Every structure is written in C-alpha cells, then in structure tokens.
Amino acid sequence: MDFDRDAAFPMKEKKHAVSKPIQLKETEKIDNPVKSATLEGTQRSVEFFLPYLIDKKIPTTFYFEARSANIFLDRNPEYLEKLNQSYFEFGIHGYDHEDFSGLETGLIFSEKDEYNIISEAKKKVESLLSKEVIGFRAPYMRKSVNTNRILESLGFVYDSSVYQESISSIFPYYETRNLVEFPVIKTPKNSKMNGMYTYLWPLFEGKRNLEDIISNYLELVRNSKDGVSYISVNLHSWHFAYNISKERYLTKGEIEENLKTFRKLITALENIKDVTFSTPELWLKEHDNVLVKS
C-alpha cells in the first residue's frame, strides 16, 4: 500500500506533489508542501481497512510518504500502536511524493538533492515508527538515473518501483549489487488478462469490474508453477474514500462498498491452496537463497 496524501499529483515546477482536491478546489495552497497535502481520504480509508488487515493478520507493506506519515501520526497517535504489528512492514515513498524522474514536473533533482530528500524521509519515518526501514517505492513508480545508487548508499535492501510484463507470478532480482527489485506486474495487452496492472486503481475508479480483476489475479496464479515467485497487490491509502474521476470524497456507504470489494479479492486469493500472503521483507527472509547476485 502506498501511503499518500489524497491522490498525489505532480505539478509543473513543483518539487512536492499536490493532493487532487487541493489542486481542484483550494488552488491558493498549491505552493506550500504542507498545505498541499490533505489526508481526509487516507484518514477515512485507514479507519475502515486497517481493522480488516489486523483482524485477518494480512502481511502488508506501507510505503510511507514522510510528510503524510508525519501529519497522520501527529493527528492520530493511537495508530502508532495499531501499525505496530509483526506482519506489517514499512517502506519509503518520497518525502513530499517527489517526481524524481522530473518527467511531469520538468524539475530535475541533483543527486545530492535527491539523496537528502530520501535520507530525510527515511529518518523521519524511522523516528515516527521506531523501526528500521529497508524498502522503497518511488512516487509515480518513477526513479531517476541516480535513485538506485542513492538507495544502496542509504542502506535500503529492496525497491519496488519497476513494472514488469508477465502472465504469471515473478521473481525478485538484484537490480544492483545490493539492491533487490520486487517488480509490479503488468499483464501484456495481447494476453487473456488484457493489459492489467496489479495496481487496483481501475477497480476503485470504476474502470474495471471486480469479476474481471479477480479472474485476472486467478489466471496469474494458475500460470505460476513454482512455490516461490510472487504477485503484489497494490493500492493507495486514500482510494477507498476518494474518487478521482468523480472529483469527490466518498460516503460511508461507498467506502464500505469499496472495502467489501477489496475483501472479495483477498478472499478469492486466500482460498487458493499454495498461495501465501507475504511482504518483500518476509519473502527475503525465506527465499534469499534463490536470488542470483548481479
């Protein structure tokens, strides 16, 4: 799960991302990295889905945007304890959801700048949650040419910011000497699964129906013959409670409906023999020996 400000979007010439609702309705706030982050959707989503994850003890990685983690935990200190579960792990998702590639903002970070941002984000999240952080997911799934080197020098062990086309589960691999990549699956356009990202974005935006998504996940599992490779289920912290195409926050009923949908997908996967829920950190502990060093 990417733990973001509500629907983080890049803006021209801005280092920080801007929440979609701010971009649409409170444009006077967009220059300020603190004020351009609103967390109403994340807040309401978390209230609904976190009890579910805890109840079912579902291994989950939270890739925290440091600013949002700070705002959220400052307002809701009781979540420190709720997040402190042995099956939860924490990663970094930028400080202000920076576009390190500069692709859409037109801003290129120097290596030193990017290093400082990721380093500060890591320090912030580690101090907030009192736990070492070793995973990274690039905001917008876009790294710069320097990101891997920076992650390595800051002691990150794994990254999960690369899409990989596949019709079955996949293997992590050494992206550099010491950094393991856990790619995110995208199914090929010309496959039965018709170009689906394992991000649940289209599901929450009503662009794909649940049956379609579940059958694609099941197909990915069916095509996988070994017991070691993995498929990630990817989503955003705010998406249960904010809809981008509708440009609005959702009602309690709609949020409950979204959670129900998500539960159906998890239940469908849970019901398959030989499918085990895990996280990159857990996976590495168990299967590190199958990775080939680069």
The residues that touch Zn ion, with contacts defined as CB under 5 A, are 2, 4, 139
Cβ-based nearer residue to Zn ion, 37 or 50: 37
**How many Å apart are CA 2 and CA 288, to the nearest integer?**
24
Residue 7 CB, nearest distance to Zn ion (Å)?
A: 9
Nearer to Zn ion, 2 or 98 (CB): 2
Q: How far is the CB of 93 from Zn ion (least distance, A)?
A: 6
Give dist(CA 122, CA 197) in Å, integer. Answer: 27
Residue (59 or 139) nearer to Zn ion, CB: 139
Cβ closest to Zn ion, residue 20 vs residue 44: 20
User: What's the closest the beta carbon of residue 136 comes to Zn ion, in angstroms?
Assistant: 12
Nearer to Zn ion, 169 or 258 (CB): 258
The backbone torsions φ and ψ at residue 171, rounded to the nearest 5 degrees and listed phi first, read -105, 140
Residue 168 — left, alpha, or beta (φ > 0 → left; ψ -120 to 50 → alpha)? beta
290 residue type, one letter: V
Q: Residue 188 and residue 232: Cα distance in Å, rounded? A: 16
- Name residue 121's amino acid: A
Cβ contact 64:125 at 8 Å: yes
Give the start-end residues of each E strand in the chain.
Answer: 2-3, 8-9, 18-19, 60-64, 88-92, 135-136, 158-159, 163-165, 173-174, 180-181, 184-186, 242-243, 248-249
Q: What's the closest the beta carbon of residue 273 comes to Zn ion, in angstroms? A: 33
In the complex, minimum distance from the CB of residue 69 to Zn ion, in angstroms, rounded to a whole number: 12
By the 8 A CB rule, do 147 and 114 touch?
yes
Q: How far is the CB of 208 from Zn ion (least distance, A)?
A: 20
Closer by beta carbon to Zn ion, 98 or else 269 = 98
